[in-house]
Structures are given as structure tokens and as C-alpha cells.
Amino acid sequence: VPNDDPHRTDFDQADIRATIERLGNNGTVRFFVNGRASNDFRLNGNTLDARISLRPGENQVVVRAENSAGNDQDEVAIIFEPVRPTSQPPKVRITRPDRPNSTTSSQRADIEASLEYVSRKEDIEFRLNGQRLYDFDYRPQNGRLTHRIELREGNNRISIEVVNADGRDQDAVDIRYLSEPGPVKQPPTVEITEPA
């Protein structure tokens, strides 16, 4: 074991089994992994068993037996190809407000966003009108970002950018704040009604 040569695997360990015939009581067995002798094997009767750690790429395993009549060896190449983790670029979507453009008469607005593959608050840039804000709340357990902001009169741009080792993503919304006009002020009027 393994029976194919070269043997390919995506596991970082391999089980080695070799059958050794006619070793006799005075025979010796030597075991090599990548050119280095190893005593990390079990010999039970005529069967050698070992579990080895593999390095990425080709690993050479040699089992050598010797007795008074001579020696023999067998070898196998094991190619370890680690599985690369799938790429998980971050994602962000502003969910509140739920439209890219909105208008409000309230000076405060609640912002909510749904994030994926973002594990740290430091990987988030939350901006209001180009100014970075740090006091938002982010819970990586559920990927939820929330923040209450103060709007200025007119258009307000809210953008959220996220980054991780696999990439970046961004979403933005515009909120137009129009304060409600107060009662219309009019100058007083005076009309003398007596004498008429």
C-alpha cells in the first residue's frame, strides 16, 4: 500500500504496507522517507506497517531488507497535492434603506447591511459623505452591520466596502434629507375697524 506508482493523494499522511519474504531471524529492515532513515514503522511477521507525514509534491518511500543471502528493496513515489481552499471573496449588500435612492424628512437614518466572508470589523470601511466612520456595530456571527447616522441637508452618500484575502466588494446608497418646513411666517397685519 499504496499499489500505484506514483500514487497521488490530497491527504497529508499516507499508510505504508510492505510484505517482506525470507527475511529470517538475522535479517534487517530499513525504512526511508524522502531519503531519510526512519524507525517509525512496525514489523509484524513478514508485514511492515507505517504511517508517514507527506510534504507537498513528490515523496519517495523505500523499504530495504537484507539477510545473509543478499538484499532487496522496493520503492514508491507518493505525490501529495493539497486541496486549495475555495475562494471566498467578501460580499456586502445594504438592506436598509432598501433602495439605492431615497428621500426622508428625518435627520437620522438607520443603516443595515448584510455581509458574507468578513470576519473582522477592521475589514470594513463605512463611509458617510466620504468620511470614514468607526462606531458602527458588526456581528461576524450573523454578518449583520447596523448603524444610526445623522444626515445633513441635501444628498447623503453611504458606502460600505469590505475586503478579505480573496477580494473586495462595495455597495452604496444615497439618502436625500429634506427638513420639513416650519409654519410659514407672515408679517402681522393691522386694520383699524373703528371709526369706520
For the chain, which residues make up each domain, given as ranges? Answer: 7-80, 91-177
Do the Cβ atoms of 126 and 118 come closer than 8 Å? no
Categorize the per-residue pLDDT at 6 as very low, low, confident or very high, splitting at 50, 70 and 90.
confident
| Superfamily the domain 91-177 falls into | Immunoglobulins (2.60.40.10)
pLDDT score at 154: 94
Residue 160 pairs in a beta bridge with 126, 171
Q: Give pLDDT, residue 183.
A: 66
Task: Report the pLDDT value the prediction gives residue 184, as an integer from 0 to 100.
Answer: 67
- In a 3-state reduction of DSSP, which class is residue 122? helix
Higher pLDDT, 192 or 60: 60
Name the amino acid, one letter, at 91.
K
Question: What confidence tens digit (pLDDT) does each residue in 81-140 have?
Answer: 988 778 899 999 999 999 999 999 999 999 999 999 999 999 999 999 999 999 999 999
Q: Which amino acid is at 152?
A: R
| Architecture in CATH of 7-80 | Sandwich (2.60)
Arithmetic mean of pLDDT, 51-62: 94
Q: Are the folds of 7-80 and 91-177 the same?
A: yes
